[in-house]
Structure 1
Amino acid sequence: MKKTMLAVLLGCALNLAHAWDQQPNHYKVRIDADAQRAHVEADVWIEGKELAMFNAFAIPGLKDGQATFIDKLDARTMDGKPLPIKDKGEGEYELDGDRRVKLSYDVRLEHDKYDWPGGQEEVLYHTDEGVMAIGYYLFLVPGEKMLGQTRVEFDLPQGWVARTPWKQAGAPNVFTADTRRELVNNALFLGTAQQEQFTSGGMQISMVLGKRNWPQRAMMRELIERQLASYVKLFGRPPLADRYLIIANPGATGDGGAFAGSFSQFLKGDINAMTRPFWGRVMAHELLHFWNGHSLVPAQPSEEWFKEGVTDYLTVTTMARNGMFNQAHVTRFLENLGRGQSVARQGQGLTSTVQDAVKDKHNAWLLVYGGGSIAGLAMDVELRRATQNKVGLPDVMKALYAEFAQPGKTYTHADIVRVAKQVGGVDLGPMLQKIVATTEPFDLKPVMQEMGFEYEHFLFMLEHDITLRPDATAAQKQRFKDIFGFSYK
Structure 2
Amino acid sequence: MIQYHVSFANPLTFYLQVQMQLAVPAQEAAPLELQLPAWRPGRYEIQNFGQKIQRVEAFDADTAEPLPLRKLTKDRWEVANATGRTVRVQYNFYAHQMDAGGSWLDESQLYLNGIQCFMYAEGRQAEPCQLTLALPDGWRIACGMTQTAPNVLEAASFDVLVDSPLIASPTLQHASYEAGGLPFHVWVQGNEARPNWEVIVRDFKAFSEEQLRLFGSFPAADYHFLNEILPYKHYHGVEHINSTVITLGPAEQLMNEELYKDFLGVSCHELFHAWNIKSIRPAEMMPYDYTRENYFRTCFVAEGITTYYGEYLLARANVRTAWQYFDELNTVLRKHYDDHGRANLSVADASMDLWLDGYKAGVPDRKVSVYHKGALVALLLDLHIRRRHNHRRSLDDVMRRLWQEFGQTGIGYTEQDYQRVVTEVAGEDMNWYFDGHIYGTAELEGPLDEALRFAGCCLMVQLNGSFAEGRLGFRTVQKGDRTEVTDIHPDSPASHNLTVDDQIVAVNGRRVSGNLQSLLNNGQLQHEVTVFRQDRLVTVELQPSSERLYWPRITVAKLAEATAAQQASFSQWLNQAF
TM-score by length of 2: 0.71
1:153-232 to 2 correspondence within 5 Å? 153-169=132-148, 171-196=149-174, 198=176, 200-201=178-179, 202-209=181-188, 210-232=190-212
1:5-404 to 2 correspondence within 5 Å? 24-34=1-11, 36-44=14-22, 49-56=32-39, 65-77=48-60, 80=63, 81-96=65-80, 101-112=86-97, 120-126=99-105, 129-169=108-148, 171-196=149-174, 198=176, 200-201=178-179, 202-209=181-188, 210-250=190-230, 251-269=232-250, 270-272=253-255, 274-275=257-258, 276-300=260-284, 301-345=296-340, 351-358=344-351, 359=354, 360-363=357-360, 367-404=369-406
Task: Please identify which structure carries the higher helix content.
Answer: 1
Does 1:479 find its partner at 2:569?
yes
- CA positional deviation for 1:377: 0.5
- CA positional deviation for 1:153: 0.9
Rate the CA distance shift 1:75–1:287 in 2: closer, same or farther, 3 A.
Answer: same
Which deviates more from structure 2 when the two are superposed, residues 199-208 or residues 159-168? 199-208
Q: Secondary structure at the match of 2:150?
A: coil
TM-score by length of 1: 0.83
- CA positional deviation for 1:315: 1.7
Listed one character per residue, the Cα deviations across residues 264-307 of structure 1 (whole Å, up to 9, x for unaligned) are 11222312262332221011111111111212112242211111
For the Cα contact (< 8 Å) 2:237–2:246, is it kept in 1? yes
For the Cα contact (< 8 Å) 2:140–2:172, is it kept in 1? no
- Structure 1 spans left out of the alignment, 5+ residues: 1-23, 58-62, 113-118
- CA positional deviation for 1:241: 4.9
Rate the CA distance shift 1:470–1:110 in 2: closer, same or farther, 3 A.
Answer: closer
What does residue 518 of structure 2 align with? none
- CA positional deviation for 1:106: 2.9
Q: Tell me, in whole angstroms, the C-alpha distance in 2 between the residues paired with 1:53 and 1:204.
A: 33
Q: Tell me, in whole angstroms, the C-alpha distance in 1 between the residues paired with 2:229 and 2:67.
A: 41
Does 1:456 find its partner at 2:460?
yes
Which deviates more from structure 2 when the two are superposed, residues 48-57 or residues 146-155? 48-57
Q: Tell me, in whole angstroms, the C-alpha distance in 1 between the residues paired with 2:104 and 2:274.
A: 23
- Structure 2 spans left out of the alignment, 5+ residues: 41-45, 285-295, 362-366, 464-548
For the Cα contact (< 8 Å) 2:337–2:551, is it kept in 1? no
- CA positional deviation for 1:413: 2.3
Which deviates more from structure 2 when the two are superposed, residues 367-376 or residues 35-44? 35-44
Q: Tell me, in whole angstroms, the C-alpha distance in 2 between the residues paired with 1:155 and 1:340.
A: 45
Q: Tell me, in whole angstroms, the C-alpha distance in 2 between the residues paired with 1:240 and 1:190.
A: 22
- CA positional deviation for 1:319: 0.3
For the Cα contact (< 8 Å) 1:56–1:91, is it kept in 2? no
Listed one character per residue, the Cα deviations across residues 84-136 of structure 1 (whole Å, up to 9, x for unaligned) are 33324442223457766523323243433xxxxxx722111346621212011
Rate the CA distance shift 1:435–1:254 in 2: closer, same or farther, 3 A.
Answer: same
The letter of the residue matching 2:8 is I
- CA positional deviation for 1:245: 4.8
Listed one character per residue, the Cα deviations across residues 329-359 of structure 1 (whole Å, up to 9, x for unaligned) are 222233334322221226xx88432122232
Listed one character per residue, the Cα deviations across residues 39-62 of structure 1 (whole Å, up to 9, x for unaligned) are 1222125796431221349xxxxx
Q: Tell me, in whole angstroms, the C-alpha distance in 1 between the residues paired with 2:176 and 2:328.
A: 32
Listed one character per residue, the Cα deviations across residues 412-461 of structure 1 (whole Å, up to 9, x for unaligned) are 22222222333341333431332222234323322233323332335624
Rate the CA distance shift 1:330–1:199 in 2: closer, same or farther, 3 A.
Answer: closer
The letter of the residue matching 2:157 is T
For the Cα contact (< 8 Å) 2:145–2:155, is it kept in 1? yes
For the Cα contact (< 8 Å) 1:33–1:157, is it kept in 2? no
Does 1:411 find its partner at 2:413?
yes
- CA positional deviation for 1:237: 0.9
Rate the CA distance shift 1:99–1:272 in 2: closer, same or farther, 3 A.
Answer: farther
- CA positional deviation for 1:481: 1.9
For the Cα contact (< 8 Å) 2:114–2:162, is it kept in 1? yes
Rate the CA distance shift 1:228–1:366 in 2: closer, same or farther, 3 A.
Answer: farther
For the Cα contact (< 8 Å) 2:195–2:255, is it kept in 1? no
Rate the CA distance shift 1:52–1:260 in 2: closer, same or farther, 3 A.
Answer: farther
Q: Tell me, in whole angstroms, the C-alpha distance in 2 between the residues paired with 1:440 and 1:232.
A: 34
The letter of the residue matching 2:240 is F
Rate the CA distance shift 1:98–1:229 in 2: closer, same or farther, 3 A.
Answer: farther
Which deviates more from structure 2 when the two are superposed, residues 441-450 or residues 193-202? 193-202
Q: Tell me, in whole angstroms, the C-alpha distance in 2 between the residues paired with 1:102 and 1:64.
A: 28
Listed one character per residue, the Cα deviations across residues 238-262 of structure 1 (whole Å, up to 9, x for unaligned) are 2245343523322522221112332
Q: Tell me, in whole angstroms, the C-alpha distance in 2 between the residues paired with 1:101 and 1:486.
A: 62
Q: Secondary structure at the match of 1:302?
A: coil
Q: Tell me, in whole angstroms, the C-alpha distance in 2 between the residues paired with 1:469 and 1:197.
A: 42
Rate the CA distance shift 1:287–1:196 in 2: closer, same or farther, 3 A.
Answer: same
The RMSD of aligned alpha carbons is 2.9
Q: Tell me, in whole angstroms, the C-alpha distance in 2 between the residues paired with 1:314 and 1:487.
A: 19
